[in-house]
Amino acid sequence: MPTRALVTGAAGFVGSFIVKKIIETTDWEVVGLERLSYSGSLDRLKPHPRYKSILHNLQSDVNDHVAKEIGYVDYIIHVAANSHVDRSIENPRQFVLDNVLGTCNILEFARSLPNLIKFIYFSTDEVFGPADVGVFFDEDARYNSTNPYSATKAGGEELAVAYRNTYKIPIIITHTMNIFGESQHPEKFIPKCINKISNGETIEIHSDSSRTVAGSRFYIHVDDVAEAIMFLLGPAGKFEKYNIVGKQEINNYDLAKMISELLNKPLNYEFVDFHSSRPGHDLRYALSGKKMKDLGWEPKYELKERLSMMING
């Protein structure tokens, strides 16, 4: 029987790249589980004989009918999540249903599979909260969620740990920082910068209360994330936690400036104290990528190269 992988949130930004990476680099069959929310689009995925799409909202359990549609699977990559901080602040209950209950329901399905090889829970750097300058959180740092989104991702992560400990499900957990790439929702910072700079509009840049220090992140291209997931599905990935981190930390002003230079357009910007005006937004997140690097994986390209490839095609 052919190897089969189930990807939840398959029509989403990250999920679609993981599906494409599996199809391109293996002979596996892939089942995509998708509810087609505001951020999901089947246009991201071209029809393929080894890909099957199933519509299902994980706020409901994976019942016998849905389980039959999915069939047997060897791997589960659980990417489906509600992932917007602003909306989590406005409607935290929705995020509990999507990110905690939804994770519980897919874990229950995984528990019914007798021959599951690996289950990857796709978490976020935000579960650790803000990082002071010079601090890089490792995989086992303590949670310090500062908004409902990160709290619900931490809740799903703890459920995954509990199912690994209680039911011996072969679970891997990843923490990933700010992801960018083609077909990303235009509300995210990099596509927003590209669009606004191209149109001569002003960019708002997340800063401290003095409006002089810009927020910083480790941005990583979605294709690098998909490659890291494939790496962990292989023999190197043990049933542990792994940080998937971009090569370079950059503040959002320097990032916007880099984008304007690649576009050959002027940068119009203003610093905005987002943390004071929008509680739950933190100035700096930072993860250590040492564990993955020691195993033999890191992104292939520098940030500027990836941006150039994205902008120039």
The answer to which of 38-42, 64-68, 126-130, 269-273 has the lowest mean pLDDT is 38-42
Contact between 264 and 196 (Cβ < 8 Å): no
pLDDT band at 42 (very low <50, low <70, confident <90, very high): low
Strands 118-124 and 29-34 turn out to be unpaired
- Give the model's pLDDT for residue 214: 87
| pLDDT at residue 279 greater than cutoff 60 | no
Q: Could you read off the pLDDT of 145-166 as tens digits, one per residue?
A: 999 999 999 999 999 999 999 9
pLDDT band at 291 (very low <50, low <70, confident <90, very high): very high
Q: What is the mean pLDDT of residues 31-42?
A: 74
Q: Which residue in 98, 125, 223, 224 is the catalytic one?
A: 125
Three-state DSSP state, 39? coil
Return the bridge partners of 124, or none.
176
What average pLDDT does the structure give for the chain? 93
Q: What is the pTM of this model?
A: 0.93
**Would you call 261 a catalytic residue per the annotation?**
no
- Give the model's pLDDT for residue 218: 94
| pLDDT at residue 39 greater than cutoff 70 | no
| pLDDT at residue 58 greater than cutoff 70 | yes
- Give the model's pLDDT for residue 277: 52
Q: Which has more pLDDT, 83 or 110?
A: 110
Q: Which residue in 74, 126, 223, 224 is the catalytic one?
A: 126
| pLDDT at residue 264 greater than cutoff 60 | yes
- Give the model's pLDDT for residue 65: 97
| Topology of the domain covering 186-216+250-284+302-312 | UDP-galactose 4-epimerase; domain 1 (3.90.25)
Q: Could you read off the pLDDT of 204-234 as tens digits, one per residue?
A: 998 888 888 888 899 999 999 999 999 999 9
Q: What is the mean pLDDT of residues 109-119?
A: 97
**Would you call 149 a catalytic residue per the annotation?**
yes
| pLDDT at residue 12 greater than cutoff 70 | yes
Give the torsion through C-alpha atoms of 186, 192, 198, 202, to 10 deg: 140
| pLDDT at residue 174 greater than cutoff 70 | yes
**Would you call 249 a catalytic residue per the annotation?**
no
Q: Which residue in 75, 149, 163, 269 is the catalytic one?
A: 149
Architecture of the domain defined by 4-178+219-244:
3-Layer(aba) Sandwich (3.40)
Contact between 145 and 127 (Cβ < 8 Å): yes
Domains of the chain, residue spans: 4-178+219-244, 186-216+250-284+302-312
Q: Could you read off the pLDDT of 176-212 as tens digits, one per residue?
A: 989 999 988 888 899 999 999 999 999 999 888 888 8
Strand extents, DSSP E, the chain: 4-8, 29-34, 51-55, 75-78, 118-124, 171-176, 179-180, 202-206, 216-218, 220-221, 241-244, 249-251, 268-272
